[in-house]
Amino acid sequence: MSHMVNPLATPDQLYQRRSFSALPTELQDAIFFSTQCLTQAAGLLLQLPQSVTAQANVIIARYWLEEPMMSHEFSDISAASVYLTAKLSPYPRSPRDLALVYNYLLSPSSTFFQPLASASGDSPPPPPTNIPNDYYLPEHIYNSFHTRMLDCESRILYALSFNTHVSLPHPLAITYLQALDFLNTSKSTVSKRTLAYLNTALLSPQMLYLTSQPNALAVAAIYNAAKDVGAKMPECEWWEVFDVDREELGFLVVGMRSVDGWGRKMREDVERIKAETESGKRGGMIRRRDVEGELRRRGLSVGNGYAKGAGGTGAGSEEPVDMEAEMARRMDEKMAEIEGSAS
């Protein structure tokens, strides 16, 4: 509110995540994308303003630069960030609200991430039938969700040094649009499209919100929106008025445009991964067990998926040893469990 800057990811934070995580990049991306979509869906069902949900999206992205993706269930991280940002906003939501919404979204009745008509041509399965029993929430399930969510909340805060501040580009974009004059087009057309670009970029594993400040995101979204609707932009290098240089603009313009293609590909990835796991179910949110299954299929050690982890630079590098040991231990337990049930 009072300021328009964000803490940004350092190049080494980004680099470490990409290069040292034991999860293959496209798995990281699929997890990232589906978790961000899940977060948006939850925000809608919780009737939160987009400003709150968008902050949760940014918090998740920051968190995963600091901690391995596999250390908690993705949906729990999503729930905890929504809970946290809502708590700090004028629209707090109760743990029970969150439990109900996430329980529904993860249930077979939910339409969340139901298969699309795929490129290979087979028709999508019919939409799921609504079976209220699917998302009935027994007390013990609620309690364990609640506990996990609070654990994740403090974990997120710890990983981000309690810096919960997120400045969004949306209000800036609206202000900028007011200052600009697109003679031949209605402002509302351009602004709708601008906001769509900004919201879509939240879902992208390019993590544009972690590499650029809100003013640059706002300008790039306006640029793209104006291009799309054929609005006439000022002749001059107008972005400089908003303290954005041509190179950063170019980077963001391309980045934002590519999200759309990404989204499709990633949904297909998620679908495929889901379809191949034990659950055999095609749609729905990707879970840790799906990722574990995928890793096994690829002949990658699942243990590594935990142990090496992503991020963990800077302040975090003080404790990787303990973390690793802990993760390895948990992983062993998990493996024993899986093997036990298989035999």
Smallest separation, CB 316 to other proteins (Å): 4
> What number of chain residues touch other proteins (CB under 8 A)?
78
Q: Which amino acid appears at position 342 of this protein?
A: A
88 interacts with other proteins by CB under 8 A? yes
What gap in Å lies between CA 148 and CA 342, rounded to an integer? 27
The residues in 278-307 that bind other proteins, with binding defined as CB under 8 A, are none
Count other C-beta atoms under 10 Å from residue 186's C-beta: 11
- Both tokens of 146, joined, read 């609640």
Which of 148, 165, 289, 334: binder of other proteins (CB under 8 A)?
165
Beta strands in the chain (DSSP E): none
Question: Which of these ranges, 40-48, 160-168, 268-276, 286-294, lies near other proteins under the rule CB under 8 A?
Answer: 160-168
2 interacts with other proteins by CB under 8 A? yes
The residues in 187-206 that bind other proteins, with binding defined as CB under 8 A, are 206
What gap in Å lies between CA 247 and CA 240, rounded to an integer? 11
Query: Residue 22 or residue 207: which is nearer to other proteins going by CB?
Result: 207
What gap in Å lies between CA 50 and CA 86, rounded to an integer? 11
In whole angstroms, what separates CA 120 from the centre of its chain?
Answer: 27
Query: Residue 205 or residue 293: which is nearer to other proteins going by CB?
Result: 205
10 interacts with other proteins by CB under 8 A? yes
161 interacts with other proteins by CB under 8 A? yes
Question: Which of these ranges, 115-123, 172-180, 181-189, 223-231, lies near other proteins under the rule CB under 8 A?
Answer: 223-231
Query: Residue 108 or residue 320: which is nearer to other proteins going by CB?
Result: 320
Count other C-beta atoms under 10 Å from residue 83's C-beta: 27
Which of 47, 111, 144, 163: binder of other proteins (CB under 8 A)?
163
6 interacts with other proteins by CB under 8 A? yes
136 interacts with other proteins by CB under 8 A? no
- Both tokens of 233, joined, read 């932009």
Taking Cα atoms as reference points, which of 256, 274, 251, 309 lies closest to residue 108? 274
Question: Which of these ranges, 102-110, 161-169, 179-187, 283-291, lies near other proteins under the rule CB under 8 A?
Answer: 161-169
253 interacts with other proteins by CB under 8 A? yes
16 interacts with other proteins by CB under 8 A? yes
Which of 137, 300, 316, 328: binder of other proteins (CB under 8 A)?
316
Which of 72, 155, 287, 308: binder of other proteins (CB under 8 A)?
155
What gap in Å lies between CA 1 and CA 322, rounded to an integer? 38
Taking only Cα atoms into account, the Rg of the chain, rounded to an integer number of angstroms, comes to 21
Residues 6+ apart with CB under 8 A from 286: 30, 31, 34, 35, 74, 270, 273, 274
Query: Residue 255 or residue 283: which is nearer to other proteins going by CB?
Result: 255
3-state secondary structure 56-84: HHHHHHHHHHHCCHHHCCHHHHHHHHHHH
What gap in Å lies between CA 283 and CA 115, rounded to an integer? 5
The residues in 99-118 that bind other proteins, with binding defined as CB under 8 A, are none
Question: Which of these ranges, 108-116, 244-252, 286-294, 333-341, lies near other proteins under the rule CB under 8 A?
Answer: 244-252
Question: Which of these ranges, 90-98, 112-120, 129-137, 277-285, lies near other proteins under the rule CB under 8 A?
Answer: 90-98
Which of 138, 318, 340, 343: binder of other proteins (CB under 8 A)?
318
Residue 98 DSSP code: H
Smallest separation, CB 320 to other proteins (Å): 11
The residues in 26-65 that bind other proteins, with binding defined as CB under 8 A, are 62, 65
Which of 319, 332, 333, 337: binder of other proteins (CB under 8 A)?
319
What gap in Å lies between CA 9 and CA 97, rounded to an integer? 32
What gap in Å lies between CA 102 and CA 38, rounded to an integer? 9
